[in-house]
């Protein structure tokens, strides 16, 4: 049974950082990233290592902002898009923090924050933990589609996997950004086999999660419903479904919806087609742009639903449908004093 967990004692997002590459620097949020490498390599020899290094740098910066050492973290949850999530394990193992690996495709940022909130709440001995997620355009293209050197033509529904990472430090000590509720999403059939149309594949799962959540919550209490990477195509499907099936509350939800995949790039001159995607998309948009707005109280209460398309090259080649999943967390501004 689909149940929402409301945390009596919320957990707090103490610190966060975003790291990105060339395209991310050219987009509207470029100036808000903590670190940019326009070569997309972050000093590494391979795109795959570069992705892990982005995660390491993001966590390092988030810890520095807080003047906290890795030793003071009780648990680290992380995931990425590479086969067997090797970017996360390879990039983060040098911290020596107890580690739990996740795979939620592009939904991993929300999934990780959800699981970390649960870990901190369930454990009396844990005081602080971190969540890191990353993606790299060149690593993802050659793993899921074709190496970028081939110069393959992309369809208009295709999205651009972000070269970015986000890191978040969570704690039980009160600060100005709280995670106050969470709800994992059901896996929903996307009814498509087109790996260049992830937005459509994931829109139904986002609709399912939003609908479930607002069956017992009032849309008027929320400033923002933020999905991870539905892009132009998926966002339009989600909003249409909310308006058509949700009555007046649905129209309100559609009006406060936005998508990280539509925020990261300026599609008027960047070749992002339907928008940004990837584990690093929602993580870096949250850490660069959204959480500062929550901290300042410009967003008082919001939902984050990173959306994941569950597929592999094998499952696509074997003719399976692409499945979607959309876990949810509620984030609130907590006025100080």
Closest CA to 248 of 207, 220, 206: 220
Determine the 3-state secondary structure of 94 from DSSP.
helix
Which residues here bind a second copy, judged by CB under 8 A? 1-8, 46, 48-49, 71-75, 79, 82-86, 89-90, 92-93, 96-105, 111, 114-115, 117-119, 121-126, 143, 183-189, 308, 310-315, 318, 320, 323, 325, 327
If you write DSSP's letter for every residue of 22-88 in order, what string do you get?
Answer: HHHHHSTTGGG-SEE-TTSSTT-SSHHHHHHHHHHHHHHHHHHHHT--GGG-SEEEEEESSGGGHHH
CA distances from 259 to 208, 227, 231 (A): 16, 5, 7
DSSP state at residue 215: T
Residue listed under structure tokens 């501004």: 333
Q: What is the C-alpha separation between 227 and 282, in angstroms, rounded?
A: 8
Determine the 3-state secondary structure of 122 from DSSP.
helix
Which residues, other chains included, contact 236 with Cβ-Cβ below 8 Å and sequence gap of 6+?
A: none
Q: What is the C-alpha separation between 6 and 179, in angstroms, rounded?
A: 9
The minimum distance between CB 314 and a second copy, in angstroms, equals 6
- Strand-pair category, 257-259 with 177-183: unpaired
Comparison of 62 and 97: residue with beta carbon closer to a second copy: 97
Number of neighbours of residue 256 by Cβ within 10 angstroms: 15
Which residues, other chains included, contact 124 with Cβ-Cβ below 8 Å and sequence gap of 6+?
A: none
If you write DSSP's letter for every residue of 116-163 in order, what string do you get?
Answer: HHHHHHH-SS--EEEEEEEE-HHHHHHHHS--GGG-PPPPTT--EE--
Q: What is the C-alpha separation between 328 and 276, in angstroms, rounded?
A: 19
| Dihedral sign, Cα of residue 217, residue 223, residue 228, residue 230 | positive
> Which residues, listed in sequence order, are joined to residue 128 by a DSSP beta bridge?
171
Tokens of 155: 């369809």
Tokens of 47: 């795109």
């Amino acid at each position: 049974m689909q149940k929402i967990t409301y945390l009596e004692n919320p957990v707090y997002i103490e610190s966060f950082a975003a790291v990105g590459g060339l395209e991310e620097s050219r987009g509207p949020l470029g100036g808000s990233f903590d670190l940019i490498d326009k070569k997309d390599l972050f000093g590494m020899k391979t795109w795959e290592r570069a992705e892990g290094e982005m995660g390491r740098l993001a966590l390092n910066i988030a810890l520095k902002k807080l003047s906290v050492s890795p030793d003071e973290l009780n648990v680290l949850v992380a995931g990425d898009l590479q086969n067997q999530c090797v970017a996360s394990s390879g990039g983060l193992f040098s911290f020596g923090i107890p580690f739990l690996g996740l795979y939620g495709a592009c939904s991993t940022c929300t999934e990780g924050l959800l699981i970390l909130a649960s870990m901190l709440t369930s454990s009396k001995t844990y005081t602080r933990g971190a969540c890191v997620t990353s993606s790299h355009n060149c690593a993802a293209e050659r793993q899921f589609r074709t190496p970028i050197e081939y110069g393959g033509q992309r369809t208009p529904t295709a999205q651009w996997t972000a070269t970015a990472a986000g890191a978040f430090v969570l704690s039980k000590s009160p600060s100005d950004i709280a995670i106050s509720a969470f709800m994992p999403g059901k896996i929903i059939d996307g009814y498509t086999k087109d790996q260049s149309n992830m937005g459509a594949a994931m829109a139904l799962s986002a609709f399912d999660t939003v609908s479930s959540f607002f069956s017992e919550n009032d849309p008027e209490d929320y400033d923002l419903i933020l999905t991870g990477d539905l892009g132009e195509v998926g966002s339009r499907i989600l909003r249409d479904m909310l308006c058509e099936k949700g009555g007046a509350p649905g129209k309100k939800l559609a009006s406060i919806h936005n998508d990280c995949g539509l925020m990261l790039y300026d599609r008027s001159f960047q070749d992002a087609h339907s928008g940004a995607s990837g584990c690093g998309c929602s993580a870096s948009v949250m850490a660069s742009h959204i959480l500062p707005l929550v901290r300042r109280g410009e967003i008082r209460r919001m939902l984050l639903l990173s959306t994941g398309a569950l597929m592999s090259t094998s499952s696509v080649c074997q003719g399976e449908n692409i499945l979607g999943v959309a876990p949810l967390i509620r984030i609130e501004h907590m006025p100080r004093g």
